[in-house]
Amino acid sequence: MVDLLAMILVFMGIAFFFFGAIGLLRLPDLHSRLHALTKADNLGLGLMIVGVALLHGSLLVALKLLLIWLLALLGSAASAHLISQYALRRNHR
Amino acid sequence: MIDLSLTTIPDLVLAVMLIGMAWAALSSDDLKRSVILFIAFGLLLAIVWARLHAPDLALAEAAIGAGLSGALLLVALRDETGGKVAAGEVSRSGRWLVDLFALIMTCLIGWVLWLTIYTAPVERLATLANATLTQSGVSNPVTAVLLNYRAYDTLLELVVVLTAVLGVMVVGRERRGYRQAGPVFCGLVHWLVPLLIVTAGYLLWVGAHAPGGAFQAGATLAAAGIVLRLAGNDAAGLPAGIWLRWLLVAGIGLFLSIGLGVTLSNGQVLQYPEAWSGSLILVIESAATASIAAALVLAYRGGRPEGWLTAADKENNRGVSA
Amino acid sequence: MTQALIYALTGAVIFMLGVRTTLLRVTLLHRILGLNVSGGGVFLVFVSLGYRGDTALTDPVPHALVLTGLVVAISATALALALNRRLREMDDE
């Protein structure tokens, strides 16, 4: 039962990654691409991490995975901000 | 002979992606694109290492092969702009010749590999390496090979790192630093740098019994330095003057002195006494981590710091500007 | 066994791709990239030969040597990039 739930979560995560990737490839301009990429991928990663933590079933591993997710959130938020700021500055020039 | 089961499908996909990524990175004429694709290639390779049961390599590849190489290449790209791009093409016949050579060599290497993999295995080093693991002082076989069985290799590798960074310092001067970063990036740095340092310490410690070790820790520490420099700290967290020199040679120095020191107990270089080997390995690894990180950060900075110009150097500069 | 073969052959192809680029390109930075890629191919061949399926013992010796190789490769890359930069400076002078 737990395994099934975990697998569903992991596959939902993969689906979010997939749509994030489609957004990255298909959306017209940089800002909407960033929007698709960071939001969808962060959610996908979060779902996957919950799934994997359930599969593994150990609290310590779950905490480590949570830490990884928080780092990824921090990194993607900051890098998306930096990239879009750079793009905005360049467009203004 | 070849069994294509369901489990090999991910491997086939990864292999095709790897070749495709290498091709894309190398065939592009736009250097920036090439470098970014090369970083992606490194990350794919890290997944392959995990797939081949080599987690130590996966960590190292993600940190060194993709992360630090990428950073070094990107900062080298910044120098490239502005200068003239070298023109010139290889002749068409030359191109054909090289392609033919590459094709023949690939087939030959492939054939040899095929023969190697399908011959009956003789005695493997893996059994020997794992049988003597209890005497090595650590329980991660890769660390045991690196710092106990084949400690000579690692010592010489540190010599290579030092030589390379000396070369970088001889030919290059430090690049201009970056301006102070904005509030968002500074906020990120405030979180990221301490976390990277803690992670490096963790990797170093855990290397004794699980994937990790001096190289991964050194790379993580170097990443912290690079992030600092990008945020506007020109020294990138490195000390100045004599302390930097000591830091660069700390790894080799400690390794050599311990290697020679143990000769007092049993007369053989680098043959640690069994009871001590665990702690000796940790001490050597800590020093090696610091040295590797310092060397990589210095390479990222681009060469010798401003204060290190020798008298002859200044004379030379005056001659050029006059 | 099949897995090892797949990756070993991939490594051979990547190695020759890198060598080909190094021979054909004129720009030094391209050549450095080519050398790095071919190094990755060599590492792949090496590690896949030490891998004997999911159940058998994986050989730690090639792992250690490749780990050494990675660090040596980045040191060599750093030196090559520094030389490239110096050459460019000398061109400009």
Read off the pLDDT of residues B229-255 as tens digits, 9 standing for 90 and up: 988 888 888 888 788 889 999 999 999
- The verdict on a CB contact (< 8 Å) between A82 and B192 is no
Residue of A nearest to B188 (CA): A78
Contact C76 B48 (CB under 8 A): no
Q: Does B118 touch chain A (CB under 8 A)?
A: no
Give dist(CA B22, CA B130) in Å, integer: 35
Minimal CA–CA distance to C54: which of B53, B125, B140, B123?
A: B53
Distance, in Å, from the CA atom of C47 to the CA atom of B57, rounded to the nearest integer, reads 9
Q: How high is the pLDDT of residue C28? A: 86
Min Cα distance B21 → chain C (Å) is 10
Q: To the nearest whole percent, how much of chain B has pLDDT over 70? A: 90
Q: Are B188 and B318 in contact (CB under 8 A)?
A: no
Whole-number average pLDDT of chain B = 84
B185: chain A residues, CB-CB within 8 Å = 78, 82
pLDDT confidence band for B289 (50 / 70 / 90): very high
Q: What is the pLDDT of residue B279?
A: 87
Q: What's B173's DSSP letter?
A: B
Q: Are C58 and C21 in contact (CB under 8 A)?
A: no
* Any B CB within 8 A of A68 CB: no
Is residue B322's pLDDT more than 50?
Answer: no
Chain B and chain A touch, per 3+ beta carbon pairs within 8 A: yes
Which of A49, C10, C25 lies closest to B95, judged by CA? C25
pLDDT in tens, A61-80: 899 899 889 988 888 888 88
CA pair distance A42, A68, nearest whole angstrom: 11
Whether B64 and C70 lie within 8 Å, measured CB to CB: yes
Nearest to C36 among B69, B79, B302 (CB): B69
**Neighboring chain A residues of B192 at a CB cutoff of 8 Å:** 74-75
* Mean pLDDT comparison of A51-55, A59-63, B304-308, C73-77, highest-scoring range: C73-77
On the question of pLDDT at B108 being above 90, the answer is: yes
Report the Cα A36 to chain-centroid distance in Å. Answer: 10
Looking at chain C, which residue has its C-alpha nearest residue B5?
C2
**C-alpha–C-alpha distance, residues B9 and B17, integer Å:** 12
* Shortest alpha-carbon distance between residue B243 and chain C (Å): 21
Which candidate from B185, B191, B195 shows the least CB-CB separation from A82?
A: B185
Chains A and C touching, counted as 3 or more CB pairs less than 8 Å apart: no
pLDDT by 10s per residue, chain C, length 93: 788 888 999 999 999 999 998 888 888 888 999 999 999 999 999 998 888 777 777 788 888 999 999 999 999 999 999 998 888 888 877
Which subunits count as partners of chain A given 3+ CB pairs below 8 Å? B
Tell me which chain A residue has its CA closest to the CA of residue B192. Answer: A71
Q: Using a CB-CB distance cutoff of 8 angstroms, which residues of chain C are in contact with residue B94?
A: 24
Separation CA B12–CA B35 (nearest Å) = 25
What confidence tier does A93 reach under pLDDT thresholds 50, 70, 90? Answer: low
Average confidence (pLDDT) over B164-185: 85
Percent of chain A with pLDDT over 70: 99
In chain A, which residue's Cα lies nearest the Cα of B184? A78
- Please report, for residues B308, C2, C4, C12, C57, the alpha-carbon distance to residue B114 in angstroms, rounded to integers and kept in the order given: 54, 10, 10, 11, 20
* B64·C60 Cβ contact <8 A: no
Give the rounded percent of residues in chain B with a pLDDT score beyond 90. 37
Report yes or no on chains C and B touching (3+ CB pairs under 8 A).
yes
In this predicted model, what pLDDT tens digit does every residue of B217-231 receive, in sequence order?
999 999 999 999 988
**Residue A26, Cβ density class (10 Å: 0-12 exposed, 13-18 middle, ≥19 buried):** exposed
ipTM of the complex: 0.94
Tell me how far CA of residue B73 lies from CA of B34, B35, B206, in angstroms. Answer: 10, 7, 30
